[in-house]
Amino acid sequence: MSRQRVLITAVVVTIVFIGLAAVLAVIFRPVSTERVESGSIVRQNVLVGSTNPCVQCHANSTPGIVQQYGHSTMAAANVKCEDCHVVAADYPNAIAHEGTYVVNSPTPALCQKCHAREVTQFNASRHGLPAYVAVAGSQNLSETHLAQYLSIAEGQPSPDKSRNAIAALEGDAITRFTCYGCHNIGRPHEDGSAGECQMCHLRHEFSLEQARKPETCNFCHIGPDHPQYEIYTESPHGIAYHTMGHTWNWEAEPGLITVEDIPAATCAICHISGIGAASTTHDVGDRLTWFLFDPVSTRRPAWTDNKVRMQTVCMECHNSNFVNDFYTAADAATERVNEWTQEGEDLRVALMQAGALTAEPFDEPIDFAIYELWHHWGRTAKFGVWMQGPDYAQWHGAYEVLQALAEVREYAVEHLPGYVHPRHAETESGGGSD
């Protein structure tokens, strides 16, 4: 072969190869060739050079606040310090300040002027007053707040007072930093409103990216009794977030998120965000079918509608058979955990009635076993099931339930007259072998 022939052959092969590659590229082209490389938008500080007196002076007294607010979309939309902080002289907690009156902690009543829909949805949720009542009880609520609390369709169940016994044992000096650190998300205000939007919208940036990321929920949704963050982290959705999240479009227009922007589920996507056919909600109960936090879970009043709403979210990324099968299996697992926690509850009541437990809460080790059986492990098993965390469903959940149940049963053998341990009950009915 002459060198010329070799050269021509090489050129022809190359041309054919490139042509083929081009055809293949057209055939197997991804749906969209555009991809946001990083969702983090670096915004200008729009307050640089501002002549607003609050801004000018606070650029010296609290530069961090001005700096943060300057980067927010609200500042860019010309919302001013005054819009949230300035109130009438007789407003609850008004402070005389530089010729006007300000509040140092703007409440949802002030956000409501411009965000009525978000505030109404938040008020109808368990993030509102029910979260606060869970710790403080409803006895000290004002008439307006009590009426609002009682009107929340899914707000009532407050199953068990044992945590409140823990709060009482700890005392106010501690609970300010413990229970209330999380449950103040629904705290009532003297101006008649309730809640702390800033628990998710960290002031003063009010960044969508920050509110949407799971770390925001991690402030409260962690720990042995509600390890949703830990479960999420080990789930396929969490893996996608932790490995690929930096490429997602976190600033997508609210209500108009597509799977192109956020291709795997996050806490906010499943519980709050509008994505595809699902609309945004600040009522985090809107998409739930069970009261999973209960010792023995029951259905929510509007559970069939709620289920449709959650499944609408799933179906942005999964097909309907997959989602229906998942729900059938997760319902069955919830009912199985219910059988265990129901047995724990029945034993607790029987032991109480037999005088085998002291009236004093948490004064004996068995009180802790009875409590943790449902409050830590029963819940964790259910959460692990519903949010795809097999290790939590198993080793921090079902396994621990069985262990606690064994302990409570053994205690009943010793302290409850006439109690028959299930393994002996099986023997008596002929099911056993010994």
Contact call for residue 19 and ligand HEC (CB under 6 A): no
Closer to ligand HEC by Cβ: residue 262 or 404: 262
Neighbours of 157 (CB within 10 A): 13
Contact call for residue 194 and ligand HEC (CB under 6 A): no
Contact call for residue 113 and ligand HEC (CB under 6 A): yes
| Cα–Cα distance list, 153 to 123, 157, 192, 222 (Å) | 11, 10, 20, 26
Question: Minimum Å distance from CB 37 to ligand HEC?
Answer: 19
* Structure tokens belonging to residue 161: 């007072």
Q: Which stretch binds ligand HEC (CB under 6 A): 3-11, 230-238, 397-405, 418-426?
A: 230-238
The span from the CA of 369 to the CA of 404, in Å, is 6
End-to-end CA distance of the chain: 90
Contact call for residue 386 and ligand HEC (CB under 6 A): yes
The span from the CA of 378 to the CA of 335, in Å, is 11
Closer to ligand HEC by Cβ: residue 239 or 416: 239
Query: Which residues touch 209 (CB under 8 Å, ≥6 apart)?
Result: 39, 40, 41, 250, 251
Write the Ramachandran bin of 206: left for phi over 0, alpha for psi from -120 to 50, otherwise beta.
left
Restricting to residues 388-427, name those near ligand HEC by CB under 6 A: 388
Contact call for residue 164 and ligand HEC (CB under 6 A): yes
Closer to ligand HEC by Cβ: residue 212 or 347: 212
Query: Which residues touch 154 (CB under 8 Å, ≥6 apart)?
Result: 126, 285, 291, 300, 301, 302
Restricting to residues 131-150, name those near ligand HEC by CB under 6 A: 131, 134-135
* The one among 167, 333, 370, 393 contacting ligand HEC by CB under 6 A: 167
Contact call for residue 153 and ligand HEC (CB under 6 A): no
The span from the CA of 416 to the CA of 413, in Å, is 6
Closer to ligand HEC by Cβ: residue 69 or 419: 69
Q: Which stretch binds ligand HEC (CB under 6 A): 5-13, 110-118, 406-414, 419-427?
A: 110-118
Q: Could you give the string, one character per residue 55-84, with x where binding to ligand HEC holds by CB under 6 A and - elsewhere? A: x-xx--xx--xx--x---xx--x-x-xxxx
The span from the CA of 322 to the CA of 314, in Å, is 9
Write the Ramachandran bin of 99: left for phi over 0, alpha for psi from -120 to 50, otherwise beta.
left
* The one among 146, 274, 312, 403 contacting ligand HEC by CB under 6 A: 274
Question: Minimum Å distance from CB 143 to ligand HEC?
Answer: 21
Restricting to residues 82-101, name those near ligand HEC by CB under 6 A: 82-86, 95, 97-98, 100
Taking alpha carbons only, the member of 388, 39, 55 closest to residue 211 is: 39
Question: Minimum Å distance from CB 407 to ligand HEC?
Answer: 23
Count of residues binding ligand HEC (CB under 6 A)? 121
Q: Cis before residue 189, ω within 30 degrees of 0?
A: no
Restricting to residues 305-334, name those near ligand HEC by CB under 6 A: 310, 313-314, 316-318, 323, 326
Task: Return the C-alpha torsion angle 297, 369, 139, 218, nearest 10.
Answer: -70
* The one among 208, 351, 393, 408 contacting ligand HEC by CB under 6 A: 208
3-state class percentages of the chain: helix first, strand second, coil last, to nearest 5:
55, 5, 40
* Structure tokens belonging to residue 173: 């000096």
Strand, coil or helix: 257: strand
DSSP state of 184: G
* The one among 152, 179, 398, 401 contacting ligand HEC by CB under 6 A: 179
Contact call for residue 284 and ligand HEC (CB under 6 A): yes
* The one among 87, 124, 152, 220 contacting ligand HEC by CB under 6 A: 220
Question: Minimum Å distance from CB 412 to ligand HEC?
Answer: 26
Place of tokens 């198993």: 394
Question: Minimum Å distance from CB 283 to ligand HEC?
Answer: 8
Q: Which stretch binds ligand HEC (CB under 6 A): 20-28, 284-292, 343-351, 402-410?
A: 284-292
